[in-house]
Structure 1
Amino acid sequence: MKRTFTFTLLYFFLIFTSNTFSQNQSNAFSDRIFEGKGYQPLANLKWKFKTEGKIFSSPIAKNSIVYIGSEDGFLYAIEEKSGDLKWKFKTNGAIHSSPGIFENTIYFGSFDGNYYAINALNGKLLWKFKTGGEHWLGEIGMWGMKPETQYMEDLWDFYLSSPVVYKNGKSALVLLGSSDGNVYSLDAKTGALKWKFKTNGPVHGTPVIDKNKMYIGGWDATLYALNIESGKEIWHFATGTQMGFTGIQSSVAISDGTVYFGAREPFFFALDAETGKPIWKYNAENSWILSSAVIKDNTVYVGTSDTYALLALDAKTGAEKYQFKANGYVYTSPAIAGNTIYFGDFTGNFFSLDLLSDGKKSNFISTDNRKEFAASILKNDLLDFGYAAQNEDLAVYDNNKKVMDQFYKLGPIVSSPFIHNNTIYFGSADGYLYAYNLEKQKNL
């Protein structure tokens, strides 16, 4: 349905951030294309690991260990085979940043205002870097909601920036954004500041590196291309700033000299990587695009919010090839292995879709919470903000919080999947990290 700006309809929106492929990156989003052949849907549950908070962080696996952060303030290291805890590291704030790995070091950020470097083998602190403070986006009377004097956090600003490591010769840099409005470059070994770049708003997006540039967007609705070594701006591209449709939370994908990304302005953009000039843009029908794209075989795959879709777009023209409908907001950044793309939605469903079927062949699993609460929260098995509000006035901020609390009972999946050793890992707002085996390869 076409929407105009009202409080009720505006709050039918939601978010997420993620990343893309570049050979110099090292984090949970550094390559969303994994090894695999044919169509491999999800098979049986291998194990699930319970934390004491919602999981918005995305997992990464290396050396038989899976790493993930939780809103309970811990970074967890979990044995890949058994799902048993190897170690955990406590911070003084929620961890909505996804971990990055370089050599034997884990990098991540916390709402306590620090970015950490941890020994991946034993969980011991190597160094930490204090930013100007990490926080949810917020303002007094956000979007004109009531009461107009109340400070309101953006209910869909789920994530902090996830660190990315850039190695050049013998040196390595950790690149990250911060709620203080800066993009930072730190020495990967010591945490010493190399440079910082000031934007005009909090930066919760994750950097992407390609050649001599890093790309990052933030709440000032601007995508920046910076020189990696110096932090100097090469170009910037401004998206729209209409109320409720402002900000970049996704990360870019890069292919064949083109930069792809979505924004809260309801468009998906393709820019020239050298100049920042627009090539095409896709109209998302008043739906935020907060999922980060993945590209394969000249097709861009990306999730949408209110249209509940995984889009398949022609990489050269932006023409829509098809869209696959989920049951709610799609904020996860998809992962591809072989001919299969994997992603979750905000109702607690996790999908595997055959890329050779034009959206017609798929399967899914549901969180236990979704199975328990879907009948009472969803309308015809679909997310519906107005239905869940039960006639409450959505011009009132606290009523929106109540609806979100209802949705969280479903175990929404906004954590992006990671595939390793024929197992797929993803987190859920129910507090679990899930490990599912993949079926044996088909359609070879």
Structure 2
Amino acid sequence: MRDGSDAPRVSRRRLLAATGTVGAVGVGLAGCPDRVSRRIPDCGPVADAATAANGYVPLPADDDISMFRRGLRRYGYYPEATVPESVRVDWSTPVNRIGHTAAKSTPRPTPAGETVLIAGDTGVIHAFTPDGERRWRLETEASRSLGFHGTPAIVGDTAYIGGYDGGLYAVDVPAGELIWATRPRQFDGAIAIGSSPAYVDGTLYLLAEYSDPDSGALWEVDAATGAPTWSDDRLWGMPHPSPAIDCEAGRLVTGSNDGVVYCWEFPSLEFAWSFQAGGEGGPDGESKAGGAFRLGAQIKGTIPVYDGAAFVGSWDDRFYRLDLADGTEEWSFETGGIVMSNPAIDPDEGVVYVGSDDDTVYALDATTGEERWSADVGGNVIGSITATADTILVGSYDAHLYALEKDTGERRWRVENRGHVTSGAIPREDRIYYAERGVFSNHWDDDEETVLEEPGRAYCLVPDE
């Protein structure tokens, strides 16, 4: 086990138990009456498909599944998609009205592509046809909080998404109705679920966030009922990433706001290792009630897994390649700003694409970390990068969506929007879907009231012929 932290880690539940706040100590099934017995998921079909496809599975071993970053490995790669030489907005609709600075939910087409789900930060889930006709609108309990920022995992006719109210929702996609919804107490009092679920063999994996103290937990959930089956609350910081799973390597990996990468064996869920990123602030365990934080090293982006490695961006201005077996650092690349975007990987070319707060997208050799090209996109990159057959799609704080030539980084086009473009851009047939933040005045001024000037919209682009 590799653990680079500077102090012993104390789980949130152990800390609360020591102060008499809860009655159960440790990780696993104890302490929650809603939990059911764990059934080990079968990862074999996914691993076999990955081997047959040289590590890349477009829709993870099953064409009835669609999820954030395209699959369990979280590549964000669409090799069958090509991007038009020029585009226009075919339709758009307002979906985001909250000033919270987390990246916005990425629109997610259903596996067959007949419906596009868009989860808004108002707690409303929208369903549209590809042509922009509304199918339904579903308001949830997440409307009482900061809504949705994660992206649905869609399995057949059911979509699963966590909310900033601490609940997890299962939605009947054809009907637009709730199948089930959990309450925060079922996740030990979670205040938010910002991570996008991963799905394997009837089982969901996601991260939940807690306060007092700031902490998190990895949860395993029965997809049929919403009942938790297992958890590990060793995470510190309120984690936002979505778990990545490499069934072939037998690893599940994620990061958190404490600057730590956590890795479990999969599907046994025995803890494997942790890695501590840097950060000029140094460790701050005392102020975080036992968590060995490294200030300035937050890990907010989802970590893709490829070629026996995990690829990690940190607020310490670096992007890392870690050995999945033991967490050893294999290389790191320094950017000119914090790295919190979700990187894309092209496994055919062996290239990883990552964005930074230095307004730049980098194409790096996945094996060596050598820079192949860099491109200025005019603003911070905090959302998801998408790789297609010929193009990189990336949203920017400068209120544009960019299409960059994959081989050179040269700009093919950019589309001007209204707010910061922080969702991923999803190509599907001849269309591209993405979303932006709302436009606010006085957002960074503590002395003035923040005012929504214009709601953030979801967009559909088509070729400009």
Shorter-chain TM band: 0.7 to 0.9
Within the candidate set 393, 396, 412, 1:362 is matched to 412
Tell me which residue corresponds to 1:201. 237
Tell me which residue corresponds to 1:187. 222
Supply the distance in 2 between the matched residues of 1:39 and 1:188 (Cα, whole angstroms).
Answer: 35
Contact persistence 2:81–2:428 (CA under 8 A): no
Supply the distance in 2 between the matched residues of 1:77 and 1:37 (Cα, whole angstroms).
Answer: 23
Tell me which residue corresponds to 1:213. 251
User: What is the CA deviation profile of residues 360-379 of structure 1, one whole-angstrom value per residue up to 9, with x for unaligned ones?
Assistant: 24210101x3xxxxxxxxxx
Contact persistence 1:113–1:132 (CA under 8 A): no
Contact persistence 1:174–1:185 (CA under 8 A): yes
Is structure 2 residue 183 aligned with structure 1 residue 175?
Answer: no
- The amino acid across from 2:104 in the alignment is F
1:320 Cα deviation (Å)? 1.2
Tell me which residue corresponds to 2:197. 163
1:205 Cα deviation (Å)? 0.9
Supply the distance in 2 between the matched residues of 1:132 and 1:242 (Cα, whole angstroms).
Answer: 33
- The amino acid across from 1:61 in the alignment is P
Report the 3-state secondary structure (helix = DSSP H, G, I; strand = E; otherwise coil) of the residue aligned with 1:29: helix
Tell me which residue corresponds to 2:355. 303
Contact persistence 1:215–1:224 (CA under 8 A): yes
Report the 3-state secondary structure (helix = DSSP H, G, I; strand = E; otherwise coil) of the residue aligned with 2:69: coil
> Is the deviation greater in 196-205 or in 234-243?
234-243
Is structure 2 residue 115 aligned with structure 1 residue 65?
Answer: yes
Supply the distance in 2 between the matched residues of 1:361 and 1:203 (Cα, whole angstroms).
Answer: 33
Contact persistence 2:401–2:421 (CA under 8 A): yes
- Percent identity, please: 23
1:230 Cα deviation (Å)? 3.6
Supply the distance in 2 between the matched residues of 1:102 and 1:26 (Cα, whole angstroms).
Answer: 7
Let me know the Cα RMSD of the aligned residues: 2.2
Point out which structure has higher relative CO (alpha carbons under 8 A, 6+ apart). Answer: 1
> Unaligned 5+ residue runs, structure 1?
1-19, 137-158, 370-410
TM-score, structure 1 as length reference: 0.74
Supply the distance in 2 between the matched residues of 1:51 and 1:37 (Cα, whole angstroms).
Answer: 26
Tell me which residue corresponds to 2:152. 99
Is structure 2 residue 452 aligned with structure 1 residue 436?
Answer: no
Supply the distance in 2 between the matched residues of 1:271 and 1:81 (Cα, whole angstroms).
Answer: 42
Report the 3-state secondary structure (helix = DSSP H, G, I; strand = E; otherwise coil) of the residue aligned with 1:178: strand
Within the candidate set 102, 112, 124, 2:177 is matched to 124
Report the 3-state secondary structure (helix = DSSP H, G, I; strand = E; otherwise coil) of the residue aligned with 2:340: coil
Q: Number of aligned pairs?
A: 350
Cα pair distance change 1:126/1:315, threshold 3 Å: same
- The amino acid across from 2:195 in the alignment is S
Is structure 2 residue 70 aligned with structure 1 residue 30?
Answer: yes
Supply the distance in 2 between the matched residues of 1:41 and 1:163 (Cα, whole angstroms).
Answer: 34
Cα pair distance change 1:222/1:46, threshold 3 Å: same
Tell me which residue corresponds to 2:37. none
1:82 Cα deviation (Å)? 2.7
Report the 3-state secondary structure (helix = DSSP H, G, I; strand = E; otherwise coil) of the residue aligned with 2:204: strand
Report the 3-state secondary structure (helix = DSSP H, G, I; strand = E; otherwise coil) of the residue aligned with 1:259: strand
Within 5 Å, which residues of 2 pair with 1:11-410? 23=60, 26-31=66-71, 32-36=76-80, 40-51=84-95, 53-54=97-98, 56-62=104-110, 63=112, 64-91=114-141, 92-93=144-145, 94-129=147-182, 130=184, 131-135=187-191, 160-167=194-201, 172-180=202-210, 181-198=216-233, 199-211=235-247, 212-243=250-281, 245-285=296-336, 287-296=337-346, 297-305=349-357, 307-356=358-407, 358-367=408-417, 369=418
TM-score, structure 2 as length reference: 0.71
Cα pair distance change 1:239/1:21, threshold 3 Å: farther
1:207 Cα deviation (Å)? 0.6
Cα pair distance change 1:242/1:132, threshold 3 Å: farther
- The amino acid across from 1:209 in the alignment is I
Supply the distance in 1 between the matched residues of 2:256 and 2:368 (Cα, whole angstroms).
Answer: 26
Supply the distance in 1 between the matched residues of 2:137 and 2:131 (Cα, whole angstroms).
Answer: 15
Supply the distance in 2 between the matched residues of 1:292 and 1:342 (Cα, whole angstroms).
Answer: 12
- The amino acid across from 1:176 in the alignment is L
User: What is the CA deviation profile of residues 181-236 of structure 1, one whole-angstrom value per residue up to 9, with x for unaligned ones?
Assistant: 11100011111111101122322111111112211111121111113334321111
Tell me which residue corresponds to 1:426. 434
Supply the distance in 2 between the matched residues of 1:294 and 1:118 (Cα, whole angstroms).
Answer: 28
Contact persistence 1:41–1:352 (CA under 8 A): no
Cα pair distance change 1:126/1:193, threshold 3 Å: same
> Unaligned 5+ residue runs, structure 2?
1-54, 211-215, 282-294, 439-455
Cα pair distance change 1:438/1:36, threshold 3 Å: farther
